Amino acid sequence: MLDYKSIIANKIKAPLETAELISLITETADDSFGDYAFPCFKLARVMHMSPVQIAEKLANEVELDEHIVQVRAVNGYLNFFVNRTELTWEVISDVFAARGSYGNSDIGEGKTVCIDYSSVNICKSFHIGHLSTTAIGSALYKIYSALGYKVVGINHLGDYGTQFGKMIVAFKLWGNRDIAEREGVKELQRLYVKFHQEEPAHPELTEQAREWFSRIEKGDKEAQELFEFFKRITLNEVKTVYERLNVKFDSWNGESFFNDKMAEPLQMLREKGLITESQGAQIVDLSEYGMSPCLLVKSDGSSLYATRDIAAAIWRKREYNFDKCLYVVAYQQNLHFKQFFKVLELAGFDWAKDLVHVAFGMVSLEDGSMSTRKGNVVLLKDVIDKAVAKAGDIIAEKNPDLSDRDKIAEQVGVGAVLFSALENSRIKDIVFSYDRVLNFDGETSPYLQYTYARCNSIIAKAGDYKSGKVAGDYRTLDNPETLRLIKLIGSFPQAVKDAAVKYEPCIISALLIDIAQAFNRFYIEHRVLSDDLAERNARLQVVEVTASVIKRGLALLGIEAPDKM
């Protein structure tokens, strides 16, 4: 699409640099007032005139052409009208030319982004609480890839700590290898819960757990074999869920991978005089920066999350030479990330500024929260299964003769679960509701999928329509409903860039909802399969580009678009 903001900026004869003029130009909310607006208020002090007078003066000086066909001065604003037939042609041509990759760009070429997300815990349930980090991280992975970045998806496994000593004790006392193989994480979780139930009455279990964890750290053969057994069972299970969610990772290096990589950064921090002792523990004092101390080594000599995260960040910079490293982790960890980012900055690593905590809110079900230790968790797999089953019931009711119903129910159910974590600003807490996320009429993934399927159905009914061919009388598209839809579609590439810059996949989600709603208004108001061939072809192209952009946007969110529903 033409860069209308630059075209307009070059027509405004005002005492501002072109870049600043462009930054002030915005799209209008109401198409009847024009397509772009330039506020003149900032010029009042420089030009010694009122904004109204400035707007009138500048309007008289604008030279119209084939791109900008009208300008109006309205209450201190310059309102510009573009050639809307040309705009429509530009957008449709761009979508067709992209061949399914509309919104892609090369702005990230030569740059690397590491994204640390999902980060499941070994021996613990992959539950609904992991939904946001998994969905947001995966969407950002796809968005940055579309913008030309080399992306490294990292699952920083929670595979280190005394809880694994507890698991070994529990397994040796009450576990069975065959049952664990058959029941998977469910059995490991049962043992973990039982340990915490028995621990208050049997404090010796705590000491045994510490001893077994120490044996893991020292490479004891039996301890290592049991730990790897627990890890294999957990990963086999979670990878099945990741496959359903269309989520991938390039690295599975968890906390244990950095066990032998902490000594170097600790020594470096000591040499720089950053580490001090406090009650036997080793800390970095951050009081000067309004933060509590960053605890690196406990009084018993054991390391903490911050120590391992510092080691991991240094290793990742050496291994991947990232331009950004994102940590998609809940907002409860805000202080942790501020602390270890600051420690790396104080240590002299200028790339510490490239570490970003992508915080998000919590997910809960309508019936309350969860606790791993008490055992009242809701597995993400069960949430997906239930959403798929409900989607199947709805599809059976709406379209009982639909072929591939099970496959489509899977696409709809999985899409609904993912979209629930991507539809709003990531910092917002989510209360998950099956009925709401599977609503085919609300602002949901099924609504988008249904709109996409409707577009396909319209095109199929056209019969002789030549897909992907720019042809037809675009003057027949000069109406408010089509213009609004075309403008939204034209804004999609910028929305993809904004989603990356702000780490907000919901920017794409919101635009897709706007596009679907605008399309349905267009479809209601205008007969697509018109008897006039030129009008018919032009409107069918609008339908086709709408379908293409909805499918593309859903793909960036990790959601499939069924051709029929």
Residues in the chain: 565
- 498 near 507, Cβ under 8 Å? yes
Residue 129 CB: number of other CB atoms within 10 A? 18
pLDDT tens string 203-260: 999 999 999 998 988 889 999 999 999 999 999 999 999 999 999 999 999 999 998 8
Residues near 536 by beta carbon (within 8 Å), at least 6 away in sequence = 462, 465, 472, 528, 529, 530
22 pLDDT above the threshold of 50 = yes
User: Which segments within 201-314 are labelled E, that is strand?
Assistant: 275-278, 281-284, 294-297
Supply the pTM of this predicted model: 0.93
Angstrom distance (rounded) from CA 100 to CA 103 = 9
Q: Residue 302 has what pLDDT?
A: 77
273 pLDDT above the threshold of 60 = yes
Residue 330's pLDDT band, with cuts at 50, 70 and 90, is very high
**Longest distance between any two alpha carbons in the chain, whole Å:** 88
Q: Residue 376 has what pLDDT?
A: 59
- 119 near 242, Cβ under 8 Å? no
For the chain, domain boundaries: 4-82, 161-247
374 pLDDT above the threshold of 60 = no
Rounded-to-5 percentages of helix, strand, coil across the chain: 55, 10, 30
- Domain 4-82, CATH: 3.30.1360.70
> What is the CA angle 296-299-304, rounded to 5?
30
372 pLDDT above the threshold of 70 = no
Paired strand residues for 121 = 158
Mean of the per-residue pLDDT values of the chain: 94
CA distances from residue 493 to 159, 517, 554 in whole angstroms, order as listed: 39, 19, 14
pLDDT tens string 432-484: 888 888 888 889 999 999 999 999 999 999 988 888 777 767 888 989 999 99
- 380 near 421, Cβ under 8 Å? no
Give the long-range contacts of residues 438-441, CB within 8 A, separation 24 or more. Answer: 438/387, 438/390, 438/391, 438/394, 438/412, 438/413, 440/394, 440/398
Give backbone dihedrals phi and psi of 152, rounded to 5 degrees, phi first: -115, 110
Question: Which residue in the block uniquely carries the two structure tokens 């010029």?
Answer: 43
- 167 near 230, Cβ under 8 Å? yes
